[in-house]
Structure 1
Amino acid sequence: MASSRQISKIDSEEPSLRLAVLIDADNAQAAVIEELLAEIARFGEATVKRIYGDFTAPTSSSWKKVLQRYAIKPVQQFAYSTGKNATDSTLIIDAMDLLYTRKFDGFCLITSDSDFTGLAMRIREEGLTVLGFGGKKTPDAFRNACHKFIFTEVLRPSGEQSKTKSKTENGPSHAQQLPPEPAEPKHAFPQKFLLTALDQSTDDSGWAHLATFGNYLTKLQPDFDPRLFGYKKLSELVKAKTDLFVTEERESPGSGQKVLYLRAK
């Protein structure tokens, strides 16, 4: 379970974490790297950026185009034998080396591979924040091992996925030959989950501070993201769901700023 200090850092408006960003080239897409790094910047500074894979393989061609532009250090790893993933081992060894330098507040693991579940848990045991980024195919085990997990699909503007994938992975000459990808299925709105979390977040008067509510959502479900349901921010979601929530803006003592409170309707 994440500490309140860690969750506060994650949701803070002022990015404060020193982060090591480690990318599994075999299980991540280069098409969203710009949006991915922008998302990481919300949480802190990417002090180290490394990507692991066999960059002599054709499947890594899309990554080779963006590494220099975004100052990501490639770590070349040849496949020693068929069926064995040497890339995973190299990434994990590097992560442990970086962990023991004590220079970082957290790690960003960019992968959809459940093999990194143990690594995420080990980093958490050291009291550091673990941010996971991966596709919707990412197994629950890895997603729940992170303090916060973000689906890379929400980082790409709607309708851009098939277009970007055609250009970056297959080249412009193949873009016209690929059939359009089916639209992403809409997520069922988790009404019961939200109301349960709100009940646990309220004070004696029945009201909850938005940040407290958001922290509790992340603790219960690390991959919860309002963008999955069409809202950029949690505040937009609770304001829009007038059938579930009553919201109220209050002035924060000493700052003069407005803060949002909510309660169940």
Structure 2
Amino acid sequence: MNRINNRVAVVTGGAAGIGSAVCRFLARDGADVAIWDWNTDNAEAVAEEIRGYGRRAMICKVNVANQADVLAAAKKVHNELGPVGILVNNAAISPEKDFVEISEEDWDRVFDINLKGTFFCTQAVINDMIDNQWGRVVNISSSSAQSGARRMVHYAATKGGVIAFTKALAQEVAPLGITVNNVPPSTVYTDGLKSVESRFPNGLQGYVDSTIPVKRVGQPEDIANAVAFLASEDSGFITGVTLSVNGGRYML
């Protein structure tokens, strides 16, 4: 199935978790993929999976909060793979801290990566999309921004910003053939979640049973499936949308 028509995609945070699943799904559907990540330890394995679909893959070590890094990576992708047609802003951190303990440094760090990084990466590739009068930007937000989340005020604030960023940019670039949408996951079983499983008083399944109507934890593939659709040729009449992939945790 070639729903993406040989476009070049950039996936931030693409070396692991949700990002790696997104890379695989985009390659499956016909995209060449540039993996942008600060920690590239697992990136080569993801790149090999992309090549297994007959697509090209590139790895760029990028700190999305550093504009020079982002601009250099965007130039490299443009020169070696071609103009960027798809951007998935997935790179993020999700720290937990009581509100009264959040320092200015804590606040700035999560905003720099989650929100400023989304701005830097989008601005770095949007001209390719404008030139081609076609583009797909898919931002990974969070159900924490929709429902609120204890001990995650700074994180939820950044993801609320991502949702607002999505809607505002969608208005601006829609006449240029570019769509901008976002996907807010809920509890997804990644290495990050595994590392904090012990924090759930009644265990992870107890938390899931009490908060997620479908009674299971999400998988990276659940999110990747939605992203691949929003990145495809099939989604051209959808923009500014928050497509909640959360097992019913938050219902619009």
Under TM normalisation by the shorter chain, which class is it?
0.3 to 0.5
TM-score, structure 1 normalization: 0.39
TM-score by length of 2: 0.41
Q: Which has the higher contact order (CA 8 A, sep 6+)?
A: 2
Structure richer in helix, relative to its length: 2
Higher CA-based Rg = 1
